[in-house]
Chain A
Amino acid sequence: LAPWIPVVGLEIHAQISSNSKLFSGSQVQFAAPPNSLVSFFDASLPGTLPVLNRRCVEAAVMTGLALNCSINKKSLFDRKHYFYADLPAGYQITQQRVPIAVNGSLSYSLCIDNKMSQMVTKTVRIKQIQLEQDSGKSLHDDTRCQTLVDLNRAGVGLMEVVMEPDMCCGEEAAAAVRELQLILQTLGSSQAVMAEGQLRVDANVSVHHPGEPYGVRTEVKNINSIRFLAKAVDYEIQRQIEELENGGTILNETRAFDSRLGCTVPMRDKEGKQDYRFMPEPNLPPLILYDAKSLPANINHQQVINIDWIHERLPDLPSVKREKLVEQYGILPEHSFTLLNEDGLAEFFESVVKQTQMKPKKVIGWILNDLLSYLKQHSLTVKESPVTSFLLADLLNLLEKKEISSTAAKRVFAELWKGEGKTPLEIVKEQKLELLQDQKELEQICQAVIDGQENE
Chain B
Amino acid sequence: AALKDGLRSQVSAALKEGRVTPTELCQRCLALIKSTKFLNAYITVAEETALKQAEESEERYKRGQPLGILDGIPIAVKDNFNTAGIETTCASNMLKGYISPYNATVVQKLLDHGAVLLGKTNLDEFAMGSGSTDGVFGPVRNPWSYSKQYKEKSVPRSHSADAESKWVITGGSSGGSAAAVSSFTCFAALGSDTGGSTRNPAAHCGVVGLKPTYGLISRHGLIPLVNSMDVPGILTRCVDDAAVLLGSLAGHDPKDSTTIQDDFKPFELPSLTDVSKLSIGIPKEYHAPGLSSEILALWSKAADLFKNAGAKVVEVSLPHTPYSIVCYHVLCTAEVASNMARFDGLEYGHRSAMKDSTESMYAATRREGFNDVVRGRILSGNYFLLKQNYEKYFVKAQKVRRLIANDFVKVFRSGVDVLLTPTTLSDAAPYMEFIQEDNRTRSAQDDILTQAANMAGLPAINVPTALSERGLPVGLQFIGRSFQEKQLLTVAKWFEKQVQFPVIQLEEVKKHDNGAFQHQKSASFS
The range of chain B's interface size is: 35 or more
Taking A50-B257, A51-B255 as known contacts, 12 extra A-B pairs with beta carbons closer than 8 A to each other, sorted by chain A number, are A45-B100, A46-B95, A46-B100, A46-B343, A83-B341, A91-B338, A275-B387, A277-B382, A277-B386, A277-B390, A279-B334, A282-B227
Segment with Cβ contacts to A, from B25-33, B344-352, B434-442, B458-466: B344-352
Query: Are B387 and A88 closer than 8 Å at their CB atoms?
Result: no
For B24-56 the 0/1 string (1 means CB < 8 A from A) is 000000000000000000000000000000000
Say how far B359's CB is from chain A's closest CB, in angstroms. Answer: 7
Cβ of A248 under 8 Å from chain B: no
Enumerate chain B residues within 8 angstroms of A49, measured Cβ to Cβ: 219-220, 255-258
Query: Are A285 and B257 closer than 8 Å at their CB atoms?
Result: yes
The docked-state distance in angstroms from the alpha carbon of A107 to that of B334 is 43
Main SS at interface, chain B: loop
Query: Are A40 and B358 closer than 8 Å at their CB atoms?
Result: no
Query: Are A81 and B390 closer than 8 Å at their CB atoms?
Result: no
Say how far B237's CB is from chain A's closest CB, in angstroms. Answer: 28
The docked-state distance in angstroms from the alpha carbon of A149 to that of B387 is 30
Query: Are A79 and B362 closer than 8 Å at their CB atoms?
Result: no
Q: Which residues of B contact A (CB under 8 A)?
A: 81-82, 90, 95, 100-102, 104, 219-224, 226-228, 254-258, 261, 334-335, 337-338, 340-344, 346-348, 355, 358-359, 362, 382, 385-387, 390, 394
Partner of B347, one of A43, A83, A284: A43
Query: Are B223 and A46 closer than 8 Å at their CB atoms?
Result: yes
Cβ of A326 under 8 Å from chain B: no
**Which A residue sits closest to B387, measured CB to CB?**
A275
Query: Are B255 and A45 closer than 8 Å at their CB atoms?
Result: no
- Chain A residues numbered 48-89 whose CB sits less than 8 Å from any CB in chain B: 48-52, 79, 81, 83, 85, 88-89
Query: Are A47 and B358 closer than 8 Å at their CB atoms?
Result: no
Which 5 interchain pairs have the tightest Cβ spacing? A90-B341, A277-B385, A282-B227, A282-B228, A44-B342
Cβ of A369 under 8 Å from chain B: no
**Which B residue sits closest to A276, measured CB to CB?**
B387
The docked-state distance in angstroms from the alpha carbon of A279 to that of B358 is 25
Enumerate chain A residues within 8 angstroms of B95, measured Cβ to Cβ: 46
Enumerate chain B residues within 8 angstroms of A91, measured Cβ to Cβ: 338, 341
Given contacts A49-B220, A282-B335, contact A149 B346 (CB under 8 A): yes
Most buried by B among A50, A90, A278: A90
Enumerate chain A residues within 8 angstroms of B362, measured Cβ to Cβ: 83
The 30 listed contacts between A and B (C-beta, < 8 Å) are A43-B347, A43-B348, A45-B100, A45-B101, A45-B102, A45-B347, A46-B223, A46-B343, A46-B348, A47-B82, A47-B220, A47-B224, A48-B220, A49-B255, A49-B258, A79-B338, A83-B344, A83-B362, A85-B346, A85-B358, A88-B344, A88-B346, A90-B341, A90-B342, A91-B341, A277-B338, A277-B385, A277-B387, A278-B390, A282-B227
Cβ of A121 under 8 Å from chain B: no
Enumerate chain B residues within 8 angstroms of A85, measured Cβ to Cβ: 346, 358
Say how far A228's CB is from chain B's closest CB, in angstroms. Answer: 29
Say how far B406's CB is from chain A's closest CB, in angstroms. Answer: 19
Cβ of A143 under 8 Å from chain B: no
Enumerate chain B residues within 8 angstroms of A276, measured Cβ to Cβ: 387
Cβ of A147 under 8 Å from chain B: yes
Cβ of A431 under 8 Å from chain B: no
The docked-state distance in angstroms from the alpha carbon of A278 to that of B386 is 8
Say how far A90's CB is from chain B's closest CB, in angstroms. Answer: 3
Cβ of A444 under 8 Å from chain B: no
Say how far A326's CB is from chain B's closest CB, in angstroms. Answer: 48
Given contacts A44-B347, A45-B348, A49-B219, contact A279 B385 (CB under 8 A): yes
Given contacts A83-B344, A284-B257, contact A47 B100 (CB under 8 A): yes
Cβ of A283 under 8 Å from chain B: yes
The docked-state distance in angstroms from the alpha carbon of A311 to that of B359 is 47
**Which B residue sits closest to A88, measured CB to CB?**
B347
**Which B residue sits closest to A23, measured CB to CB?**
B257
The docked-state distance in angstroms from the alpha carbon of A52 to that of B254 is 10
Enumerate chain A residues within 8 angstroms of B341, measured Cβ to Cβ: 81, 83, 89-91
